[in-house]
Amino acid sequence: MKSYLAAAIQMTSTPDLEQNLVEAEEWINMAARQGAQLIGLPENFSFLGKDTDKISQVESIANSTEKFLKTMAQRYQVTILGGGFPSPVAGDVTKVYNTALLIDPTGSELARYHKAYLFDVNVPDGNTYQESNTVMAGEYYPPVIESENFGKLGLSICYDIRFPELYRYLSEKGTDVIFIPAAFTAYTGKDHWQILIQARAIENTCYIIAPAQTGNHYERRYTHGHAMIVDPWGTILADAGDQPGIALAEINPIRIEQVRRQMPSLKHKRSLSLRESSQELSLT
């Protein structure tokens, strides 16, 4: 595997499917022109709107999105991660999957992942999110894809980032690069987004490609932005800021090997048989 350029795209997606796809192609085109071979699109890149519309339009959104990703990969001869879009749940018209799809330059599907951890949170800014009301949680760990050109790639989506056991599973499979496409809320993002990305990169000594949503999408729905690419030491290589754009950086396999030699923590993992302390604390 040689070094290559990767791109994490940042968008302000809306409920307008067609316009979102037009804008996504503009960023894909720009990233490809700058030499990116591996491109990530954020969570909800093709549709970010009300839950009722997501449910009623899921067939159209999913079909259009999958066709778009395959067309873009072929047209620009790149590998593309569509970081999260609604897809139908067989036998359930009340819920969808939040699906990430990885497509190679031939237009072939390399991997599909349904988001495992759902964002059911009352955010202190007054917004309430209940993703599980309309989204079915995935039941499987993300796939790891072995690529001759890109190394081993792992998938995840947004809120997954708060569950390190998912990423440790990926690292145990030898993952070199992990995607974390997101639509992080503006409130939580300002405090947690960057540090969580760096933590996942450092503890698993891998690159993180984190496409993101930014700005105001509809009504009170605001996201944090700062799509970024982080290296295995936790160094931020590229940050898209708070406007739509691209974070572009080199993925270097030598850097992965170097960091894993310097900090071989993955080799030090142990299965511990721990018991609770028998000591009782007396507070006075």
pLDDT of residue 92: 95
- Element housing 33 (H / E): helix 17-33
Instruction: Give the C-alpha distances (Å, rounded to integers) separating 123 from 59, 129, 162, 267.
Output: 30, 8, 15, 38
261 within some domain: yes
Strands 128-130 and 120-122: antiparallel
- Which residues, including other chains, have CB under 8 Å from residue 203's CB and lie 6 or more apart? 164, 167, 168, 171, 265
Look up 152 and say whether it is catalytic: no
- Which residues, including other chains, have CB under 8 Å from residue 59's CB and lie 6 or more apart? 88
pLDDT of residue 184: 97
Query: Alpha-carbon distance 234 to 259, whole Å?
Result: 10
- The whole domain housing 123 covers 4-268
- Indicate the DSSP class of residue 185: B
Residue appearing with tokens 């960057």: 194
Type of residue found at 109: E
pLDDT of residue 255: 97
Give the CA count within 13 Å in the CB-facing half-sphere of 25: 15
Strands 151-154 and 144-147: antiparallel
Classify residue 127 by burial, with Cβ atoms within 10 Å: 0-12, 13-18, 19+: middle
Look up 158 and say whether it is catalytic: yes
Look up 43 and say whether it is catalytic: yes
Backbone angles phi, psi at 64, to 5 degrees: -65, -40
Q: Which CATH number goes with the domain that contains 129?
A: 3.60.110.10
Plot region of 162 (φ>0 → left; ψ -120 to 50 → alpha; else → beta): alpha
Query: Alpha-carbon distance 30 to 22, whole Å?
Result: 13
276 within some domain: no
Kindly give the confidence (pLDDT) of every residue in the chain, 284 residues in length, as a single tens digit, with 9 standing for 90 and above.
899 999 999 999 999 999 999 999 999 999 999 999 999 999 999 999 999 999 999 999 999 999 999 999 999 999 999 999 999 999 999 999 999 999 999 999 999 999 999 999 998 887 889 999 999 999 999 999 999 999 999 999 999 999 999 999 999 999 999 999 999 999 999 999 999 999 999 999 999 999 999 999 999 899 999 999 999 999 999 999 999 999 999 999 999 999 999 988 888 887 776 666 555 555 54
Query: Alpha-carbon distance 73 to 109, whole Å?
Result: 10
Q: What is the number of domains present in the chain?
A: 1
275 within some domain: no
279 within some domain: no
Backbone angles phi, psi at 130, to 5 degrees: -130, 75
Query: Alpha-carbon distance 46 to 28, whole Å?
Result: 13
pLDDT of residue 277: 59
Residue appearing with tokens 């006075």: 284
Three-class SS state of 166:
helix
280 within some domain: no
37 within some domain: yes
10 within some domain: yes
Residues, the chain, total?
A: 284
Q: Which of 54, 70, 115, 152 is catalytic?
A: 115
pLDDT of residue 281: 54
Provide DSSP, 48-86.
Answer: ---HHHHHHTHHHHHHHHHHHHHHHHHHHT-EEEEEEEE
Q: Which of 43, 66, 70, 206 is catalytic?
A: 43
pLDDT of residue 128: 87
